[in-house]
Structure 1
Amino acid sequence: MEYKRLGKSGLWVSRLILGTMNFGSRIAEKDAFDIMDAALDIGINYFDTANNYGKSIQKEGISETIIGKWFEKGGGRREKVILSTKVYEPMRENNPNDVPGLSAYKVRRHFEDSLKRLKTDHVEIYYMHHVDRSISWDEVLPAFQGMIQRGDIDYLASSNFAGWNIADVQAEAKKANMFGLICEQHKYNLLSRMPELEVLPSAKNHGMGVVTWSPLAGGLLSRNARNREVEEEALQIQLQKFHNLSTEIGEKEDTLALAWILKNPVITAPIIGPRTVEQLYDTVRAVEISIDDEIMEKLDEIFPGPGGQAPEAYAW
């Protein structure tokens, strides 16, 4: 496994991040334990979750609960893991304040509940799961700063923020003498390249790492994508060309899609969501291969991006 510093921080994280969104919903507890054990064995040190992952009809927070039970198995598991979780979504509480958002009241309550489920006393990275445009940063940033000062969290991060949202928070954090955001977690893949306009340049400018979710576009960029029904003819043509290129260079589609993300110097790591240990082992190949400029150009032809960063992508 390879490692990279997360933005301007001194924190080193694995180039693949274990995503746990399906723990408790599509992945049973025992299988989740096996996947986490295997992830540690191959050197993945960063596990990502959220307080609303693994939802069921009965309750939320199942993913965090499974991770907490795995930590309780001992063997230094908690000490070996850089853990991140998130706050924003409602948690099905009978409470008028349990609505999507980032109020200081909600942040404190939901963080305390996450710690209980995770069976830990701290979280390395705490994400704002989405931007809340209804609040003032004067309200919520002091709440996060207090968590850092108490040792509850090491770093604050953002997810699903626009480029200007990132700049806004970083400016407010600087005024408050805070370290600011360590990274942005954003949807980015060969089929979703709009972040290249402003999100990636903003993160780079502010010394932030970038963690990508949905790196395989919900499975469309996986090795089994051609067996799925795709209504749009243009997309079907793209996927066929992608398959042909992958076959030509002797790699699987998902491996190539992940390697393309890793090639971008702004990106720290993609979040992978294996459903089996075997899928996890297959994914490691993405870190091992090197894509040359010719392959990158062919991928640009198949999946054209916005043309660079704003405004040059559409103006001058």
Structure 2
Amino acid sequence: MEYSYLGRSALRVSRLCLGTLNLGVRADAQESHRLLDMALDHGVNFLDTANIYGWQKHKGFTEEFLGSWFAKGGGRREKMVLGTKVGNEMSEEPNESGLSARHIISSCDASLRRLGTDWIDLFQLHRADWHAPWEEVWQAMDVLTRQGKIRYTGSSNFPGWHIAEAQEHATRRHALGIVSEQSIYNLLTRHIESEVLPACRRYGVGVLAWSPLHGGLFGGVLRKTEEGTARKSAQGRAQEALRTHSTAVAAFEDLCERTGVEPAVLALAWVLSRPGVTAAVIGPRSTDQMESALRALRHTPGDEVLDALDGLFPAVGKGGPGTEGWL
């Protein structure tokens, strides 16, 4: 397994981060525990979850499920860098959402109870809260850090200017600030290249790319649909994208066939090859999908293939940062 430093921190994480959105929900309990053990056995030391995950059953379910896996012992908790999130609505109560100091601190305590652990390695702000001043957010994070409940702070789905604002406020407090930003990033969805990636590189923030296959769009969706084997890739984000991008996706699958590389392997390898990307957040539902993700770590797309991919799925503007991308 290859490891990278998480942003400018000294924390080392695997280049694959196991996202847990499917665990215990789309994958049953037995298969989910098998996936977690398989990840650990292959050196994946990075887990990502959120307090709302598992909402199909009840909010907090996924954290509880991970707690059951940690409880099996064998150093499972100690070997994993654990990230969870705060910010989305946990109930209809007025103070059960957002990034107020009250909600940040109470959510952390609730996550710790559900996970059955004493600390969270990466406590991520799930989305920007325009009503929460950074003085309040950092005050809450300072409290949790001093109490030993969190080690690092991350963000998720933040615009570039908000990352810059967060870091400037943290610097004035002589604090480390945000060490990672988790954004959707894949061949089709490249908007973070304009503002978010440049901001992260400027401030030493690692990027965690979620949905690297765009919900299964780049997992061979057309072939699977034709064979009748498509599951997740035949619905949701992938199905919506197919309405307007089916020609490009077909050309992508043809390219994969010509080069002898699985679609999911090539798409994931492309994400991992992008400058500034620390890790890709994968969401396997089976051991076969986990093995495919592991194969992507060993594949390096050549320049000719990278050029072909840029032709099929162009960068925003001309690919430069901010407004420079349009000049």
- Return the offset for 1:39: 0.3
- Return the offset for 1:102: 0.6
- Return the offset for 1:151: 1.7
| 1:240-274 superposed Cα distances (whole Å, 9 cap, x missing partner) | 00001111111111110100011112101110000
Match of 1:50 in 2: 50
Match of 2:84 in 1: 85
Native 8 Å contact 2:122 2:154 kept in 1: yes
Alpha-carbon distance in structure 1 between the residues aligned to 2:252 and 2:20: 27
The alpha-carbon distance between structure 1 residues 142 and 262, as it changes in their structure 2 partners (threshold 3 A), is same
2:147 maps to a residue whose letter is R
Q: 1:176 aligns with which of 166, 173, 180?
A: 173
Native 8 Å contact 1:23 1:62 kept in 2: no
- Return the offset for 1:176: 0.8
Q: How does 1:6-17 map to 2 (within 5 A)?
A: 6-17=6-17
Is 2:260 the partner of 1:261?
A: no
Match of 1:257, SS state, is: helix
Q: How does 1:44-123 map to 2 (within 5 A)?
A: 44-57=44-57, 59-92=58-91, 95-99=93-97, 101-123=98-120
Match of 1:210, SS state, is: strand
Alpha-carbon distance in structure 1 between the residues aligned to 2:49 and 2:267: 22
2:248 maps to a residue whose letter is Q
Match of 1:217, SS state, is: coil
The alpha-carbon distance between structure 1 residues 231 and 200, as it changes in their structure 2 partners (threshold 3 A), is closer
TM-score by length of 1: 0.95
- Return the offset for 1:28: 1.9
Alpha-carbon distance in structure 2 between the residues aligned to 1:154 and 1:20: 20
Q: 2:137 aligns with which of 137, 140, 156?
A: 140
Q: 1:295 aligns with which of 305, 310, 320?
A: 305
Alpha-carbon distance in structure 1 between the residues aligned to 2:243 and 2:290: 31
Is 2:252 the partner of 1:242?
A: yes
Alpha-carbon distance in structure 2 between the residues aligned to 1:31 and 1:96: 37
**Percent of matched pairs sharing the same residue:** 41
The alpha-carbon distance between structure 1 residues 301 and 102, as it changes in their structure 2 partners (threshold 3 A), is same
Match of 1:310 in 2: 322
1:305 maps to a residue whose letter is A
Native 8 Å contact 1:25 1:55 kept in 2: no
- Return the offset for 1:234: 4.5
Unmatched segments (≥5 aa) in structure 1: none
Alpha-carbon distance in structure 1 between the residues aligned to 2:293 and 2:220: 12
Native 8 Å contact 1:24 1:55 kept in 2: no
Match of 2:24, SS state, is: coil
Match of 2:209, SS state, is: strand
Alpha-carbon distance in structure 2 between the residues aligned to 1:179 and 1:232: 41
- Return the offset for 1:201: 0.3
| Mean CA deviation greater in 151-160 or 229-238 | 229-238
Alpha-carbon distance in structure 2 between the residues aligned to 1:42 and 1:223: 25
- Return the offset for 1:56: 2.5
Match of 2:35 in 1: 35
| 1:77-118 superposed Cα distances (whole Å, 9 cap, x missing partner) | 1111000000011222x633123x111111111110100010
Is 2:209 the partner of 1:212?
A: yes
Native 8 Å contact 2:222 2:250 kept in 1: no
Alpha-carbon distance in structure 1 between the residues aligned to 2:169 and 2:212: 31
| 1:37-83 superposed Cα distances (whole Å, 9 cap, x missing partner) | 000011100010000001135x2111100100110100111111000
Aligned length: 312
Native 8 Å contact 1:104 1:139 kept in 2: yes
Match of 2:230 in 1: none
The alpha-carbon distance between structure 1 residues 230 and 111, as it changes in their structure 2 partners (threshold 3 A), is closer
Match of 2:277, SS state, is: coil
TM-score by length of 2: 0.92
Give the 4+ runs in structure 1 shifted more than 6 A: none
- Return the offset for 1:230: 6.3
Match of 1:18 in 2: 18
| Mean CA deviation greater in 115-124 or 276-285 | 276-285
Match of 1:127, SS state, is: strand
2:65 maps to a residue whose letter is I
Match of 2:220 in 1: 223
Alpha-carbon distance in structure 1 between the residues aligned to 2:240 and 2:132: 40
Match of 2:296 in 1: 286
Match of 1:277 in 2: 287
The alpha-carbon distance between structure 1 residues 156 and 231, as it changes in their structure 2 partners (threshold 3 A), is closer
Alpha-carbon distance in structure 1 between the residues aligned to 2:240 and 2:75: 45
The alpha-carbon distance between structure 1 residues 76 and 43, as it changes in their structure 2 partners (threshold 3 A), is same
Match of 2:5 in 1: 5
